[in-house]
Amino acid sequence: MIKKLYELGYFDYRGFILDNLKSLSLSTTEAIILIKILDDFKKSPSFNPESLRNKMNIRKDAFESALANLLERKIYEIYLSYDNNIGFEAISLDGFFSLVSDIISDNKKYDENEIHSIIMYVNKEFNRVLSSNELEIIKSLIEEDRYVMNDFVNAITNLKDSNKLLNIKNLSNELAKKSNNSKVKKETPECVKNFIKNIK
């Protein structure tokens, strides 16, 4: 599925890699090389390490070490392919796409557990069972607006301290206030700076 999305141009692999360096266990150099491999793979499955290195401002030893680590972890694999009886080295990125699917699947499980925990907490604080409409609003606040348990706890605490009625409308407004107050300019991550600096 992820591979198909990539082939159709609907998978933001650059963003995914940069956002999931820890989950992918990638160094900055490995991430830069993997992104460049994915860039080139869209044009052709053929693989030429020397040609790849020439497109990048990375030391030879660092490049070879990172490339070897990616291969050892089966993020990519090399195989011999033939075109008109002429053999050439080709690359398979099935290992990477499989890893991406696993990470997304793990995130989904976390989200489901988070949703359940938050719903149970809000039920308890409201001292009643939430309606189906209220449940949908809570799910939307978690899945789309990305509020977490701590946000709900703080919002409900603030409502209690202000002697406001505990209902979905007031809870949503309180969460929105928190969101507006926390809008700060984010500095570009170091890995992104290095990425821009190192790719030709």
Question: How confident is the model over 96-118, as pLDDT tens digits?
Answer: 999 998 888 776 665 678 889 99
CB 191 within 8 A of CB 163: no
Nearest CA-CA partner of 31 in 195, 158, 178: 195
Element containing residue 185 per DSSP (H, E) = none
Q: What is the structure's pLDDT at 39?
A: 93
Q: CATH 1.10.10.10 in the chain, residues?
A: 2-98+191-198
Q: What is the structure's pLDDT at 109?
A: 63
SS3 sequence, 142-156? HHCCCCCHHHHHHHH
How far is residue 189's CA from residue 138's CA, in Å, rounded to a whole number?
A: 31
Low-confidence ranges of the chain (pLDDT < 50): 183-188, 200
Q: What is the structure's pLDDT at 29?
A: 93
* Fold (CATH) for 2-98+191-198: Arc Repressor Mutant, subunit A (1.10.10)
Q: What is the structure's pLDDT at 75?
A: 94
pTM: 0.56
